[in-house]
Structure 1
Amino acid sequence: MKNITLVLAVFSVVLSCGGPGSKNQSSELESEVEQTTITRKQFDSNNFLLGKLEERTFPNVVETSGIIDVPPKNKVVVSAITGGFVTKTPLLVGDQVKKGQILVTLENQEFVKMQQQYLEVFNQLDFLKSEYERNRTLFEEKIASEKKYLEAKSNYETHLARYHGLKKQLQMLNISPSRVEQHIITNEAAIYAPINGSITKINVATGSYVSSSDEILEIVDKDHIHLELTLFEKDILKVEKGQRILFQIPEASNETHLAEVYLVGASIHETQRTIKVHGHLEDENHRFLPGMFVDAKILTDSHEAFSIPDQAVLSSEGSSYLLKLVSENEENLVFEKIKVMPGNSFEGFTEIQSTTNLSPGDKFLVKGVFDLFGN
């Protein structure tokens, strides 16, 4: 497809430097000027395209990384109030649950004892209350002694406190005190979902024993997924609320997604010298999962620069080049390989930072470069 003529021009440039501390340095530069000739027929049949440098607005970016995360209130680790044996685990990882839905059912004979104690105290309260009120009346009428009145009062209030304590424990176990008062006693206690969300972890199986310190399962509500980015100290003053964020999930795809800086942390990590940046997603119809790693660019401000389509930039052995049109006739087009220094790439265009040997009227091959030189 191509006919390449190599023209070798070797020259040296010596830059003198001043005294110590001067920014000028001595260097010697050797360059090869490589010319490529393409026939007009090849150019037309392969849909090659010419273009010029265009002045374009490029954002200044702060590159960072982080993860997809959810607020603490949207992630719940479910544990048991009291230990027990698992009798029912109807859910699997990935299942959606609603707030108030049964997650796990536990069995323990201690549940039965607690209900018996509650019922005994409940049945004694009416008698103890009447005794307390009777002794109080007799004491006020100076018929009964103060000792009997105080004993009745103490006995009633002690049982009343125990009643409220046992009632609260039953409620925490999701056992209905009113059913116990009707002499309906159970040896099982259910654990209900505290939030809507998806099951992300299950650490138990039917028949296993769990204690109050064990993590039974985890629920994550993905309705408020956000970016949790880590910013280095040198970039902190460049970032503020409202700036746009472009991010990718490198392990999943090359697609770029949008977010916005919502919060910038108020303190720096003492040893890592970093700060957290909280970003809100613009796309509500996402499929992101908490814990996904992200590469992000925060767009801080902008500047004007000459640009060329990304596909016009040829990278080879750590250097970048453009194919500049140096001559053409009815039969051939001749291109010269010009070394350039590319800057940021944004929305399909690459910033060209070195334009010393280029002019606004120069034409470049902007489509077909990779067809000529391969990957």
Structure 2
Amino acid sequence: MKHTILCALAILTACNSTTNTKQEMPTTVTADSVTVISPDSTAYSQPYDSTSIDGTTAATAINKVSFNGTLIVPPQNFASVTMLMGGIIRSVNLLPGNYVKKGTLLATLDNPDFISLQQTYLESQAQTEYLKSEYNRQLVLSKEEVASVKKLEQSKADYLSMKSKMEAAAAQLSLLGISTQSLLKNGIMPVLEIKAPVNGYIGKVKV
């Protein structure tokens, strides 16, 4: 099954191999776009083994009859890589036509807000653990009638407020493709890494 990844930062054409017991479908990659013939495409009815395609000129020959055209890939075979956070591009490892595997580093982005977001999560995560412990302590004291109900309610409010702040920061990091577990283990990342979501070919670069 051939896939194409349409990107705002980079356009990739995903290429997951599928075995066909009779014929194997050819793939076309042109200079200014990525086009793929998929075995699932209903637009192509000619036998696969009678087709030849020039990857440079996009000229196609079927049964010795040549013509130029555009091969259209279904939307589900495109993946768009876009960033939800602005910044300064530090490096771009992209070139149209290059093949990349899922997880390959495409570019790195500098943004102080990204560092602040990671700091917010780490601080709120630590505070959440402390406030949870304090709330549980006040809960025990309240049951033993040692602490007042007011202190218990205040402790609960502080804990839930900080927990909400931590979860909000975690959700924002998740949208940027950052694992909170990795952040807790490895610490703050200085740059935002943009990686390929699937295997594919770079089609267009818009940075």
TM-score range normalised by the length of the shorter chain:
0.5 to 0.7
| Residue of 109, 113, 120 corresponding to 1:110 | 113
Residue 151 of structure 2 is aligned to residue 148 of structure 1: yes
**Which aligned segments of 4 or more residues in structure 1 are displaced greater than 6 angstroms?**
none
The CA deviation at 1:187 is 2.4
Residue 100 of structure 1 is matched in structure 2 by 103
The CA deviation at 1:132 is 0.4
Residue 293 of structure 1 is matched in structure 2 by none
Name the % identity.
39
| Residue of 91, 94, 99 corresponding to 2:94 | 91
SS at match of 2:122: helix
Residue 184 of structure 2 is matched in structure 1 by 181
Residue 82 of structure 2 is aligned to residue 79 of structure 1: yes
Matches within 5 A, 1:13-162: 68-162=71-165
Matches within 5 A, 1:1-375: 68-182=71-185, 184-204=187-207
Deviations 1:94-150 (A, max 9, x none): 111222211121110111111111121122122201110011112222332222111
In 2: Cα distance, 1:180 partner to 1:154 partner: 27
SS at match of 1:86: strand
The CA deviation at 1:175 is 3.5
SS at match of 1:200: strand
In 1: Cα distance, 2:125 partner to 2:186 partner: 11
More strand by share: 1
- Letter of the structure 2 residue corresponding to residue 77 of structure 1: S
- RMSD between superposed Cα atoms in Å: 2.0
The CA deviation at 1:196 is 1.9
- Letter of the structure 1 residue corresponding to residue 103 of structure 2: G
In structure 2, runs of 5+ residues without a counterpart are 1-68
Please report the TM-score for the alignment, with normalisation by the length of structure 2. Answer: 0.60
Between Structure 1 and Structure 2, how many residues are aligned?
A: 139
Q: CA distance change for structure 1 residues 99 and 170 in 2, over 3 Å: closer, same or farther?
A: same
- Letter of the structure 2 residue corresponding to residue 128 of structure 1: L
- Letter of the structure 1 residue corresponding to residue 106 of structure 2: L
